[in-house]
Amino acid sequence: MTNQQNRTASYALTILVPVYNEEDNMQALSERLAAYLPRAKLSSCVLFINDGSSDRSGERIRAACAEHDDFFFIELSCNTGLSSALKAGMDHVCSPYLAYIDADLQTAPEELDLLIPHLEEYELVTGVRANRKDTGFKKIQSRIANGFRRMVIKDGARDTGCPLKVMHTDMARSLPFFKGMHRFFPALVQLEGGRVKQVNVSHFPRVAGLSKFNLWNRLLSPFMDCLVVRWMQKRHISYKVSADNFRHE
């Protein structure tokens, strides 16, 4: 598909929204996004990625896209996980910038405007949940995982799990992808020579639907992934061309 055929090319920013079994959140999510778009700091559209939902999420996504001209969707043939869904979205975006927000509305679409002004200077601008509204057990798990990650890969990121981010699309497409990589955006952007900015954002309790995370994918699996990223940091190839003879003067 060429840029001319891809309608996201008409916008400066595409907001990626991975969706997996979030039918109870779709109405409120669609209303919030539709209210935000006309006053966003950049001309923006929404791309829902239906990650093989087994409930009525897909039906509600299609209904929302039929109602709003700035809403688009892709459907994956089966559930692939958050990192794969994000990669699918990034592969289908033709706007110069992209954003990411979860479908659970624990972060506010309107607060993308806190991140967008930093895009001229930084390749990734990521939210930090300043006052998390999760359970104490979840907070403890995240604190342990974040501490271990900072110790091993030294990315300086305070909250890689915050689902509110904006990025340069070309940088996003250059990142190595693997299951669980969504937790390591700052480290991977830094690995590619990009700059990262962290901005405090609001956080809200989940009011509908169920969390897709548990002890394994919030704590144990990220520990192993940290070692993978550390290996990548040690083995990363980087070069700059100083001269060539094939360019037209």
Cβ–Cβ under 8 Å, residues 68 and 168 = no
Q: How many CB atoms lie within 10 A of CB 221?
A: 16
Cβ–Cβ under 8 Å, residues 174 and 101 = no
| Distance between CA atoms of residues 191 and 237, nearest Å | 9
pLDDT for the residue numbered 21:
94
CATH 3.90.550.10 fits 7-234, yes or no: yes
Q: Return the structure tokens found at 211.
A: 């969390």
Cβ–Cβ under 8 Å, residues 15 and 41 = no
Closest CA to 218 of 164, 171, 160, 173: 160
pLDDT for the residue numbered 153:
78
pLDDT for the residue numbered 158:
81
| Distance between CA atoms of residues 6 and 92, nearest Å | 8
Q: Alpha carbon of 92 to those of 22, 85, 109: distances in Å?
A: 22, 11, 21
| Distance between CA atoms of residues 219 and 146, nearest Å | 9
- DSSP assigned state of 227: H
pLDDT tens over the chain, length 249 residues: 556 689 999 999 999 999 999 999 999 999 999 999 999 999 999 999 999 999 999 999 999 999 999 999 999 999 999 999 999 999 999 999 999 999 999 999 999 999 999 999 999 999 998 876 555 656 666 676 666 666 667 777 788 888 899 999 999 999 988 787 888 899 889 989 999 999 999 988 767 755 555 554 555 677 777 777 777 777 777 777 878 777 665
- Return the H-helix or E-strand segment holding 142: helix 136-153
pLDDT for the residue numbered 219:
56
